[in-house]
């Protein structure tokens, strides 16, 4: 893991150090699905934001996804088949699993990941836990081992807002890592390690005026953009950001 802290300086917290509880293996609780985006990983990808995160990094851009309740509850096999079909129809090369904390629903998300793999697509997964911890827990947690086994590209580690990372794409702080767990994105990870990369931000305006934003940009850039986009559809008179901004840096993350 890359840690850009001063010599002898410890990580400022134990964020993400607690083992995630085993989720309900029968249902997937999720918040948002996009069949195709270029802002949540390499290439054109589907993206699934899950509901629930106990890591709770200060400065997280998706605190609306912390609650273990809410969102939509689905049968993982049924929704996975539908999402994979939508992603294929949109020309996506894979899916990105983010949130929320994917490893709090590792068993059901593994079903989703495996469905995309079976359809010939790749899997990218974000986590607020470190890869070292995930591997340790995977020794006795079949659900965590299964999701790791179905992941090609992993972004891991909690978001530390005091250590922003402006060099690499997708992640938010310098302690976080981008790892190729299979050969699928080994070249991309090598290129990022050597030369960094560029974040993307996507804005979707639905026919009913609802604004959806995903991807990542700096606070200043987001403020300048979102100030011009109007009120939240669900709370007229309030800014749109806290509800509709869904970023890969939550993972940021």
Q: Is 87 in the site for ligand SF4 (CB under 6 A)?
A: no
| Exposed e or buried b per residue across 71-81, where buried means at least 16 C-beta atoms within 10 angstroms of its C-beta | beebebeebbb
Of 31 and 117, nearer to ligand SF4 (C-beta) is 31
Q: Which residues contact 244 (CB under 8 A, 6 or more apart)?
A: 210, 211, 212, 213, 232
Residue from the set 128, 147, 185, 189 that interacts with ligand SF4 by CB under 6 A? 128
The interface region with ligand SF4, picked from 22-30, 53-61, 103-111, 195-203 by CB under 6 A, is 53-61
Q: Is 154 in the site for ligand SF4 (CB under 6 A)?
A: no
Q: What would the x/- binding string for ligand SF4 be over residues 156 to 195, using CB under 6 A?
A: --xx------------------------------------
CB 34 within 8 A of CB 24: no
CB 110 within 8 A of CB 147: yes
Sign of CA pseudo-dihedral 100, 198, 226, 33:
negative
Q: Is 104 in the site for ligand SF4 (CB under 6 A)?
A: no
Of 93 and 156, nearer to ligand SF4 (C-beta) is 156
Q: What single DSSP character describes residue 251? A: S
Residue from the set 23, 94, 100, 102 that interacts with ligand SF4 by CB under 6 A? 100
Q: Which two tokens stand for residue 238?
A: 């309030």
- Summarize as ranges the residues that interact with ligand SF4 (CB under 6 A): 53, 55-57, 60, 62, 65, 99-101, 128, 158-159, 250-253
């Amino acid at each position: 893991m890359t840690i850009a802290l001063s010599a002898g300086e410890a990580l400022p917290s134990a964020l993400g150090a607690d083992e995630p509880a085993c989720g309900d293996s029968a249902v997937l609780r999720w918040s948002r699905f996009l069949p195709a985006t270029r802002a949540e990983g390499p290439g054109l990808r589907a993206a699934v934001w899950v509901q629930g995160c106990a890591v709770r990094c200060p400065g997280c851009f998706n605190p609306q996804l912390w609650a273990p309740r809410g969102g939509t509850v689905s049968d993982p096999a049924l929704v996975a088949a539908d999402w994979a079909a939508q992603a294929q129809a949109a020309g996506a090369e894979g899916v990105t699993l983010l949130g929320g904390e994917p490893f709090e629903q590792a068993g059901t998300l593994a079903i989703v990941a495996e469905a995309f793999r079976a359809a010939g697509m790749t899997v990218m997964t974000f986590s607020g836990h470190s890869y070292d911890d995930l591997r340790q827990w995977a020794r006795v947690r079949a659900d965590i081992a299964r999701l790791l086994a179905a992941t090609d590209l992993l972004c891991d580690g909690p978001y530390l807002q005091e250590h922003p990372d402006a060099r690499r794409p997708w992640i938010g702080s310098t302690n976080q890592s981008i790892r190729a767990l299979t050969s699928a994105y080994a070249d991309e990870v090598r290129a990022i390690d050597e030369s960094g990369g560029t974040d993307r931000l996507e804005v979707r305006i639905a026919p009913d005026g609802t604004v959806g934003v995903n991807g990542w940009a700096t606070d200043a850039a987001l403020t300048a953009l979102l100030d011009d986009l109007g009120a939240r559809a669900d709370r007229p008179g309030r800014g749109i950001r806290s509800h509709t901004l869904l970023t890969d840096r939550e993972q940021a993350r």
